[in-house]
Amino acid sequence: MAIETGEETLVTPGEVVGDSSDLIAGRGAYVAHHNGKIYASLTGRRSIVPPLPGSSDQKPKVEIVGHKAHGAVPEPGSVVIARVTKVMAKTVSADIMCVGPKAVKEKFTGIIRQQDVRASEIDKVDMYLSFRPGDIVRAVVLSLGDARAYYLSTAKNELGVVSAQSMAGLGATMVPISWTEMQCPLTGQIEQRKVAKVN
């Protein structure tokens, strides 16, 4: 297919922006290995950058140049803060609020799978005893998953629930008392969580 250099089109995360047989994925783009297609990982303008003279790979590069207004974008390895929105038997959904110290301006969804909750006894993880909707979680981005969601992991000691509202204490912020428990300061009731280690 003929690729015009310099053409710019507005794209959103998850949109196909090219094929890895014709293009190299640059900033803001990634290759899906199951089909070789290149997808946008952020909202912005699709731009084709011609190869540098003398470079070994003579394929043009496709980049997504984000809007000036957009904030931080999650990338594999980024530590994020997310709010749990839904807890299911095998996965938890969360809205990513911050990447490192920076707030995000777009909506990014994170998914924590059962195997990514903790490092040991993975088969015994109960999602309902690890997270509740509304919990604030510190997690690391593993990869861009499917359906425009990022796969997140809480499988390190410093990752997990950092803030949770008590179910019994009318929304009081609970205090961590162990790796797996948080306590309501008003009622003394203990709830199970995958707690992040406090520094």
Check the CA dihedral 95-182-188-128 and report its sign.
positive
Tokens encoding 57: 């790979």
- What three-state secondary structure class fits 124? helix
Q: Do domains 8-66 and 79-192 have the same CATH topology?
A: yes
Model-level pTM? 0.65
**Strand blocks (E) in the chain:** 8-11, 16-19, 24-25, 29-31, 37-40, 44-49, 61-66, 79-87, 91-99, 102-113, 136-144, 149-153, 160-163, 175-176, 181-183, 190-192
- Name which of 49-53, 146-150, 176-180, 184-188 the model is least confident about: 146-150
Domain ranges of the chain: 8-66, 79-192
- What number does CATH give the domain 8-66? 2.40.50.100
- Please tell me the CATH superfamily of domain 79-192, with its number: Nucleic acid-binding proteins (2.40.50.140)
Question: Taking 60 as the threshold, does the pLDDT of residue 25 lie above it?
Answer: yes
